[in-house]
Amino acid sequence: MAVRLSRRKIASYYAKSLIDGVDAKQLAKQLAGYLIESKRIKEQQLIISDIEYQLSLRGVVVANVTSAHELDELTKTAIEKLVRQNINADDVQLRAEIDASLLGGLRLEFAGSEIDTTIARRLTALKTNYKK
């Protein structure tokens, strides 16, 4: 039977291990095994968010970028620079996702912040303002 650890302790351990250079796949397998053994699979997303938060405290930020189209390298570099300037991060890791329903623009989420410049959001805002 696995010892029940707090999410904070789990996140701190994995963030430190990632920064120390331990293989990410090995850590993912280890975490999955622990979650299965301790019957905490439902906490997976919360723990991943906690790990990302712990990484941000150590200067490594994981930023989620959602756009309607594939981003080119120049755009990715500009996004990394924007995130670094906003939160003084040493390292920025982009996780890109394509969502055609956004029509255009992009949504950037990092360290509890969100920048949404999508056309879908602008249309929703116009629709909401028009109803008033």
> Same structural domain for residues 89 and 44?
no
**Model confidence over 86-112: pLDDT tens digits?**
887 888 989 999 998 888 889 998 877
Q: Which amino acid is at 43?
A: E
Domain count, the chain: 2
- Mean pLDDT score, 6-19: 93
Q: Are 116 and 124 in contact (CB under 8 A)?
A: no
**Model confidence over 20-52: pLDDT tens digits?**
999 999 999 999 999 999 999 999 999 998 998
> Same structural domain for residues 40 and 98?
no
> Same structural domain for residues 51 and 13?
yes
Question: What is the residue range of 65's domain?
Answer: 61-132
> Same structural domain for residues 21 and 47?
yes
> Same structural domain for residues 66 and 123?
yes
> Same structural domain for residues 9 and 51?
yes
Q: Has residue 8 got a pLDDT over 60?
A: yes
For residue 7, give the H/E element and its range. helix 7-19
> Same structural domain for residues 76 and 96?
yes
> Same structural domain for residues 43 and 103?
no
Q: Tell me the pTM.
A: 0.70
